[in-house]
Homo-oligomer: A and B are copies of this chain.
């Protein structure tokens, strides 16, 4: 029978467990942005009744030593402290706790003194503890030694007890605790600190090849530069471009994917690579690398980050197919295996074989692609189908890139099963596409966003809500008319701090599917050039501008904390509020989910929770049309006619202001 050895040190009596925030017990980092304060809680306790103390340890990337913050005891053996994260990258933190012999002795001494007991026999014990502290106290050594001598001295024991119980000694001893038997939580935990855009961003997607101002011409990156005022004017701060690389010729698809490509068909941008180059080349019809750098620079001047697509796959014409055949799977006849979902075939796409014996070479090449574009100024990547590449690859790849460039962000375009999506976020993706596009009923929206914002998902999964994408024209946009577009815009922009639209299809109300029952766009830009008339009077651009302005001006909309759903007595009316941490900003969104008919509901607000006055009126300022409602009490009625506005974004203000305060909104 094997025996179990005692631990190397069996006298570490304190226990630290249940440290939060953490993901899967510390296996994955949590996520924050620069400027956040990370609030850490832990259970810490020991056997018996001795005094336990706990300290939060944290250190920024690259630092060798821990910084410390003493933790405060909450109820039920729970402790809390917080630390700021002012630098990008992976910070580490953990909690250490120990039985503090001096604090215990002092606590007991106080009880004895209060009970009128003679404490003369106790004082030498405390004096010895203070003396021991002096030995490890550096600059405080002399003072502590002096206090130890007083406590051990010849004065009346009441006077010596007074010294022992004094504030000066308590403060000095707290600075020099005996932590030789402390317990430090293992493993250390990590927090990845990103730039603010990781949390709060408004994305606009467009196809550069459709950006020409005149019909029929292939758009260029210079055309996209010219489009920047339009995008910035609507208030977007990320401009995402589908792949800008040379497009494959072999098995190229034609318009609507139903025909073989004709001579002039531009092909699918995700079929990357041709004689002109692969993932680090620019499609000649779009322009040059110099044009691209000019685009990045001009976008930056307008507060817009260019997001590139990372689609790790190749057209049959990609240079890598010849240069690194080992990175592709080959069939017995020697041909390269194209993409399939049997019986469907995608012969214009060769997936990389991540089970390749040369997987290390493949990984390194993928990182070099990202490095190349980072070198051109790119700081955001939208990653195409990350769920078809191995998780260990993403864990390594994202960490590798972010160690070199911790301001780089990755958006996971994984529309798949929930656990796969969540795992990708754990592995390091900064933001994630969501099921929002298909969540339409009040119950669905409430359940989904309650899960995303109140479960532990919020520590690592940052939702980015898209109204539409080149792959997804959801049914409600096909049939709901303009109210459906307005509705989905408002929901996306207010339910989460990050959202996006694929335009100009969205703001111009493009709603024709390729065929009935399909989510594919008719005449999709994936397969052909489109020309868009941005000046159309029915464009949603003015509404989008107002929505994005509300987001920029209201901190409540810039984080996913503080989302709460509220009662509304009509099944088609959804109501939810967001508030910032100090409740200085409260935004209530009320939306009519039925694009075909007016609905009205009484909305029930928890006034106390929201910090709104219970006994006097407060204002509800409509950020979309500037009207001001005067509300009172927890129940207020909202009527929404989709012909007018299907949704209201209301700024709830506790005080009544004078008229001119409202000018701002009008």
**A residues adjacent to B (C-beta < 8 A):** 1-4, 6-7, 10-13, 15, 17, 24-25, 43, 45-49, 76-77, 108-109, 111-112, 114-115, 117, 121, 124-125, 128, 181, 331-333, 340-343, 354-355, 359-360, 363, 387-393, 396, 399-400, 403-404, 417-420, 423
- Closest CB of chain B to A127's CB: distance in Å? 9
Cβ 8 A contact of A420, one of B4, B11, B77, B390? B77
20 A-B residue pairs with Cβ-Cβ distance under 8 Å, sorted by A, are A1-B403, A2-B403, A7-B396, A10-B360, A10-B393, A13-B354, A13-B390, A13-B391, A15-B423, A45-B419, A46-B391, A47-B390, A48-B388, A49-B341, A76-B419, A77-B417, A77-B420, A114-B343, A121-B333, A125-B331
A10 in contact with B343 (CB, 8 Å): no
- When chains A and B are docked, how far (Å) is the Cα of A43 from the Cα of B115? 59
Sort A-B residue pairs by CB-CB distance and give the 9 closest, nearest first. A115-B343, A25-B25, A108-B342, A111-B342, A124-B332, A13-B390, A48-B388, A77-B419, A10-B392
Given A4-B396, A11-B392, A115-B342, 5 more pairs with CB closer than 8 A? A10-B354, A11-B390, A24-B25, A49-B388, A112-B343
Chain B residues within 8 Å of A121, by CB: 331-333
Chain B residues within 8 Å of A43, by CB: 419
- When chains A and B are docked, how far (Å) is the Cα of A124 from the Cα of B17? 55
- Closest CB of chain B to A365's CB: distance in Å? 13
A404 in contact with B1 (CB, 8 Å): yes
- When chains A and B are docked, how far (Å) is the Cα of A555 from the Cα of B327? 60
Q: With contacts A1-B404, A418-B76 known, is A47 near B387, CB below 8 A?
A: yes
B45 in contact with A355 (CB, 8 Å): no
Chain B residues within 8 Å of A109, by CB: 342
A10 in contact with B420 (CB, 8 Å): no
- When chains A and B are docked, how far (Å) is the Cα of A503 from the Cα of B48? 29
Cβ 8 A contact of A10, one of B2, B13, B390, B419? B390
- When chains A and B are docked, how far (Å) is the Cα of A666 from the Cα of B417? 58
A392 in contact with B7 (CB, 8 Å): yes
A112 in contact with B342 (CB, 8 Å): yes
Report the copy number of this chain in the oligomer: 2
Chain B residues within 8 Å of A419, by CB: 17, 43, 45, 76-77
B49 in contact with A363 (CB, 8 Å): no
A417 in contact with B12 (CB, 8 Å): no
- When chains A and B are docked, how far (Å) is the Cα of A360 from the Cα of B48? 20
- When chains A and B are docked, how far (Å) is the Cα of A112 from the Cα of B109? 83
- When chains A and B are docked, how far (Å) is the Cα of A15 from the Cα of B391? 8
A181 in contact with B12 (CB, 8 Å): no
A125 in contact with B6 (CB, 8 Å): no
- When chains A and B are docked, how far (Å) is the Cα of A14 from the Cα of B391? 8
Closest to A419 in B: B77
- When chains A and B are docked, how far (Å) is the Cα of A419 from the Cα of B399? 36
- Closest CB of chain B to A418's CB: distance in Å? 7
- When chains A and B are docked, how far (Å) is the Cα of A76 from the Cα of B6? 43
B390 in contact with A359 (CB, 8 Å): no
Chain B residues within 8 Å of A1, by CB: 403-404
- Closest CB of chain B to A384's CB: distance in Å? 13
- When chains A and B are docked, how far (Å) is the Cα of A399 from the Cα of B390? 40
Cβ 8 A contact of A47, one of B2, B17, B45, B391? B391
- Closest CB of chain B to A263's CB: distance in Å? 30
Chain B residues within 8 Å of A114, by CB: 343
Chain B residues within 8 Å of A4, by CB: 396, 399-400, 403
Cβ 8 A contact of A45, one of B117, B396, B417? B417
Closest to A404 in B: B1
Chain B residues within 8 Å of A45, by CB: 417, 419-420, 423
B6 in contact with A396 (CB, 8 Å): yes
- Closest CB of chain B to A109's CB: distance in Å? 8
B25 in contact with A355 (CB, 8 Å): no
- Closest CB of chain B to A559's CB: distance in Å? 27
- When chains A and B are docked, how far (Å) is the Cα of A325 from the Cα of B511? 87
Chain B residues within 8 Å of A388, by CB: 47-49
- When chains A and B are docked, how far (Å) is the Cα of A406 from the Cα of B1? 11
- Closest CB of chain B to A395's CB: distance in Å? 8
B47 in contact with A3 (CB, 8 Å): no
- Closest CB of chain B to A46's CB: distance in Å? 8
B17 in contact with A387 (CB, 8 Å): no
- Closest CB of chain B to A62's CB: distance in Å? 9
- Closest CB of chain B to A102's CB: distance in Å? 14
Chain B residues within 8 Å of A11, by CB: 354-355, 359, 390, 392
- When chains A and B are docked, how far (Å) is the Cα of A404 from the Cα of B1? 7
Chain B residues within 8 Å of A117, by CB: 342-343
- Closest CB of chain B to A642's CB: distance in Å? 35
Chain B residues within 8 Å of A331, by CB: 121, 125
A359 in contact with B400 (CB, 8 Å): no
Closest to A44 in B: B419
Chain B residues within 8 Å of A400, by CB: 3-4
- When chains A and B are docked, how far (Å) is the Cα of A264 from the Cα of B185? 52
- When chains A and B are docked, how far (Å) is the Cα of A2 from the Cα of B4? 39
Closest to A113 in B: B343
Q: With contacts A13-B354, A45-B417, A355-B11 known, is A6 near B360, CB below 8 A?
A: yes
User: Which interface residue of A125, A331, A390 has the most chain B CB atoms within 10 A?
Assistant: A390
- Closest CB of chain B to A161's CB: distance in Å? 13
